[in-house]
Amino acid sequence: MKLLPVDSAFPRLDGDHTVARALIYANGTLPSLDGKSLNEEIEVRMLFVKHLLGDDELAPQAPAAIDTLLFSEQFSEQLQPLHAAWLWMARMSTFIAHEDLMLALGAAENALNVMADVTHKKTEDFLALLVTALYNLAHVHHLLSDNARATKELTRAHKLLERLVKKNEKRFTPIMLFATDAATDIIKSKNRQMEMLARCHDLTELYTSQLNESDTSLAAQALNQLIDTLEQEGNIMLEMGNPRDAMRYFSKALRYQKRLSDNMGMRELTLSLGLARSLNRIKQRRAAAEQLLTSLLPLARKLGAAREAVAIENMLNNRSKNTRIMSLLKGLF
């Protein structure tokens, strides 16, 4: 999936900032704000953020410019809800670009919280932000290998866009094209997953049949390959949105791994983390997922597995984030 530019969701401003806009585009810097009212300054700063996000060379400056508006006491309390929501969407896009996916989900939650307080939820600006939120959430979940959730979010976005394109073709056609391309990418990904899953099933049967070989070295090799294949099947099932099947594959892989070693090493950590991810996606098993993750964190640190430790911490710190986001989305439709 491609990262969606947030300029299509940029809300209408109250003032006419033609001169300021021209200076921003000519110089790539924030123009003088002398004599501007607070609301005018906010709107000029938003135009500056929009420009930074659209320029690859200037884009690294965007997070600081966004945070100034969102967190500075001077501006934050004066932001109109739709302006604040757009800034959170812009911040979400910067997090996605740097693959800070949990922070991206946090930005989405903040945007939706702001949008929940908007009185008029049928305006074009509001719906543009809602579509952008759905697309960006789908992007994050696709990167997190949760294509089932990504598909649901893109489907919602498409339904909205079908109506919005009729009202404002120029504004919403680019988003529609992005959403269509994204859906195609996910379908292709699903097709590849199905092909890979079929191959994995064949390999599982082959390696299982070799476990009782009289040649112990061949049996041990088959066991190792079987564990790798079961892990791959578990990951594919997670991507396809089948956490219960994924849980069974990871559990089976861990049982076979115990035949090879009673110690807890990297392989055990990786398989256990896959099991925890599966449990975490089953509402009734999230408490078990939390217990498992809590026990895995010291192991990851002991093994020096920095990436796995960060993944565990992210899951523990953000375990209810998707649930809150889903609840917020339901309230906006």
User: Interhelix angle for 286-302 vs 306-317, to 10°?
Assistant: 150
User: 210 or 140: which carries more pLDDT confidence?
Assistant: 140
CB 289 within 8 A of CB 319: yes
Task: Find the mean pLDDT for residues 148-160.
Answer: 84
From residue 180, give the alpha-carbon distance in Å to each of 124, 135, 246.
20, 11, 29
Task: Find the mean pLDDT for residues 262-280.
Answer: 90
- The percent of residues in the chain predicted with pLDDT above 90, rounded, is 34
Enumerate the domain spans of the chain. 7-87, 120-205, 210-321
> What is d(CA 260, CA 240) in angstroms, rounded to the nearest whole number?
30
> Do the domains at 120-205 and 210-321 have one common CATH topology?
no
Q: Model pTM greater than 0.85? A: no
| Closest residue by Cα to residue 315 from 284, 264, 275 | 275
Contacts of 15 (CB under 8 A, 6+ apart): 39, 40, 43
The CATH number of 210-321 is 1.25.40
Residue 323, pLDDT above cutoff 90: no
* pLDDT, tens only, 14-62: 888 999 999 999 988 999 888 889 999 999 999 999 999 988 899 999 9
Question: Please, which pLDDT band fits residue 95 given cuts at 50, 70 and 90?
Answer: very high
> Is the domain defined by 120-205 classed in CATH 1.20.58?
yes
Residue 265, pLDDT above cutoff 70: yes
**Residue-level pLDDT at 268:** 92
Residue 194, pLDDT above cutoff 70: no
**Residue-level pLDDT at 319:** 62
Per the structure block, which two tokens stand in for 49? Answer: 């953020």
> What is d(CA 142, CA 49) in angstroms, rounded to the nearest whole number?
26
Contacts of 264 (CB under 8 A, 6+ apart): 299
> What is d(CA 89, CA 6) in angstroms, rounded to the nearest whole number?
7
**Residue-level pLDDT at 192:** 64
> What mean pLDDT is reported for the chain?
85
Give the sign of the dihedral formed by CA 162, CA 164, CA 169, CA 170: negative
Residue 184, pLDDT above cutoff 80: no
